[in-house]
Amino acid sequence: MPRNAADSNRMRTYIFGPVPSRRLGISLGVDLTPTKTCSFDCLYCQLSKTRFHTSERKEFCSPDEVIAELKEVLGEIAAPDWITISGTGEPTLHSGLGYILAEIKKINSAPCCVITNSSLIYLPEVRQELMLADRLLPTLSTVSQQTFTRIHRPTPDLQLNKILEGLRIFIHEFTGSVEIEIFVCPGVNDTDEEIKNLRNYLMTLDRLESVYLNAAVRMPLDSEIKTADQNRLNAFRTKLNLSIPVTTAFEHNLVPPRMSNWNRPAVSSDILKLLLRHPCSEQQLERVLGSAPEKLRELLNELSMAGKVKKTANDCWTLVE
């Protein structure tokens, strides 16, 4: 049975992949918002500047259409390890999230994970909807309102103290697993004071399973912050000094490269589908596709010569419209 995104030729609107994911194995993505609709505009965002900066929940797309497309794709591919609600914006902004999660459960094809920036978890209705997931990967990079505003550039109504309380309540009540992602921004949230305060908060979360330290592959050109290397993440972990597992982006095993059975048309198709969802840097494409840099560059140059893709000012690749 086909396993890759390249095996299905139909253009999809909401479903993305399956793609190999650092933390989730083979993950089939569900994107519920228009591109870059987010309550944050993070300094480290690898997509682009937030286009629709909002914290207002809406039905951005028909939940039934999402489920219909998901069923169709699941019928064409081998069962993924996870169905992952994430994508090119903040998924909890979709007011039909609870319904969609309930429908995914009924399909019973794979466990469901939600990747969220945590911004709306202070809302009881969002917590209730997220209870239907099997796994939550929320981001929490600081417990300082000032640093939070600097890193995430949230909509003005979002208050970190409410988010922290909402996250604590959720983790206490949730029966699935939770892994908090901390995005390490050198010189901003990795001072001794920042890490100590974050540690103190994390210690209050009684059922937190693990922590993941992430770092940008490459910063947007206009970003004021730098990328964190392995040493920086290791130092952060040491200072965090938690008794639960703390892994870093550099340690996660990636899906084995396809070099042994490099299939140009399949990889080209995967690239086009990935770029249809959002612009990607070469490093992102390498990791997601599990391909060697030189082969990937060769393919990108071919697609560029064919007028299908182009490089953006911040060194990402995007589709030619």
Q: Interface residues with ligand SF4 (CB under 6 A)?
A: 38, 40-42, 45, 47, 50, 89-90, 117
Query: Which one, 40 or 236, has the nearer CB to ligand SF4?
Result: 40
Query: Which one, 53 or 310, has the nearer CB to ligand SF4?
Result: 53
Residue 85 to residue 15: CA distance in whole angstroms: 9
Least Å distance, CB 310 to ligand SF4, is: 22
Residue 98 to residue 249: CA distance in whole angstroms: 30
Length of the chain: 321
Query: Which one, 45 or 112, has the nearer CB to ligand SF4?
Result: 45
Query: Which one, 47 or 73, has the nearer CB to ligand SF4?
Result: 47
Least Å distance, CB 88 to ligand SF4, is: 7
Least Å distance, CB 90 to ligand SF4, is: 6
Report which secondary-structure segment, H or E, holds 266: helix 264-277
Query: Which one, 185 or 309, has the nearer CB to ligand SF4?
Result: 185
The DSSP call for residue 316 is: E
Cα 79–Cα 60–Cα 153 angle in degrees, nearest 5: 100
Residue 249 to residue 32: CA distance in whole angstroms: 25
Least Å distance, CB 37 to ligand SF4, is: 9
Pairing of β 246-248 and β 280-281? unpaired
Query: Which one, 61 or 67, has the nearer CB to ligand SF4?
Result: 61
Least Å distance, CB 47 to ligand SF4, is: 5
How far, rounded to the nearest angstrom, does the alpha carbon of residue 65 sit from its chain's CA centroid? 22
Least Å distance, CB 155 to ligand SF4, is: 11
Query: Which residues does residue 180 pair with via DSSP β-bridges, in sequence order?
Result: 211
Residue 29 to residue 13: CA distance in whole angstroms: 11
